[in-house]
A and B are shown apart, each in its own frame.
Chain A
Amino acid sequence: DTEVTQTPKHLVMGMTNKKSLKCEQHMGHRAMYWYKQKAKKPPELMFVYSYEKLSINESVPSRFSPECPNSSLLNLHLHALQPEDSALYLCASSQVLAGGYDEQYFGPGTRLTVT
């Protein structure tokens, strides 16, 4: 299995809702990533987990809360979002090779719309 999967594909939520995005990989990768991508822009790194521990938080607002229950799963909990948070949320994973140069494999993304 060489794929990263994400659910749901699409999500519409109100500003008072609580929802979660899910990401899963079975490639034995030990690093997992959340990116946010606005239309016609590059992906922007949000969080990185390495060996199930949060290693990078790119100053993301607390209304986004990541969770890594185990080495195969990565969640992103959403609460009290703003319309400007509407975007494509991409998950990625990579091995953690001793020599570096780790390719990141991206999931198909969740298209989030905040109303």
Chain B
Amino acid sequence: GENVEQHPSTLSVQEGDSAVIKCTYSDSASNYFPWYKQELGKRPQLIIDIRSNVGEKKDQRIAVTLNKTAKHFSLHITETQPEDSAVYFCAASMRTNFGNEKLTFGTGTRLTIIP
């Protein structure tokens, strides 16, 4: 099955600086890579995603890059703000024979923004 590794497990950055989280996946059949943000006691919420036919995607302060050959993808947050503090999960998704998506999550990164 799919295996997703995520690094680092914890990350502290000064407010205004950039944060980078990296993930690798094992199964070349994975074709969709969402990133979820989960605040304490809350549900995971999608913040950005990228499809396997795209190398980079940006949404305001958040960007994701994908290298299919190397099987790794990264999340970049610029101009970090205190409200960016949360746990971030990467995930790799593949379509099953039943037509639904099977998500495999990375182990998570606890991001702390220091004011």
Contacts and interface: CB of A to CB of B under 8 A. Distances in A.
Interface of A: 31, 33, 40-45, 48, 50-51, 53, 55-56, 90, 94, 96, 100-109
Contact of B99 (A42, A90, A96, A104): A96
A40 B35 CA distance: 17
Given A55-B100, A108-B42, A100 B108 contact: no
A48 B34 contact: no
A104 to B, nearest CB: 6
A101 B51 contact: yes
B100 A94 contact: yes
Contact of A94 (B51, B101, B106): B101
Given A33-B100, A109-B43, 8 more contacts: A40-B108, A43-B89, A44-B105, A45-B102, A104-B101, A104-B103, A106-B43, A108-B42
Contacts of A48: 96, 98, 100, 102
Contacts of B46: 103-105
B98 A42 contact: no
Q: Which 6 A-B pairs have the closest CB atoms?
A: A42-B105, A55-B98, A31-B100, A106-B43, A50-B98, A50-B100
A72 B44 CA distance: 20
29 contacts: A31-B99, A31-B100, A33-B100, A41-B108, A42-B106, A43-B44, A43-B89, A43-B103, A43-B105, A45-B103, A45-B104, A48-B98, A48-B102, A51-B99, A53-B98, A55-B96, A55-B98, A90-B44, A94-B100, A100-B32, A101-B32, A101-B93, A103-B34, A103-B46, A106-B44, A106-B45, A107-B43, A108-B43, A109-B43
Given A42-B89, A90-B43, A102 B49 contact: no
Nearest to A4: B43
Contacts of A105: 46
Contacts of A102: 32, 93, 100-101
Contacts of A50: 96, 98-100
A85 B31 CA distance: 32
A39 to B, nearest CB: 10
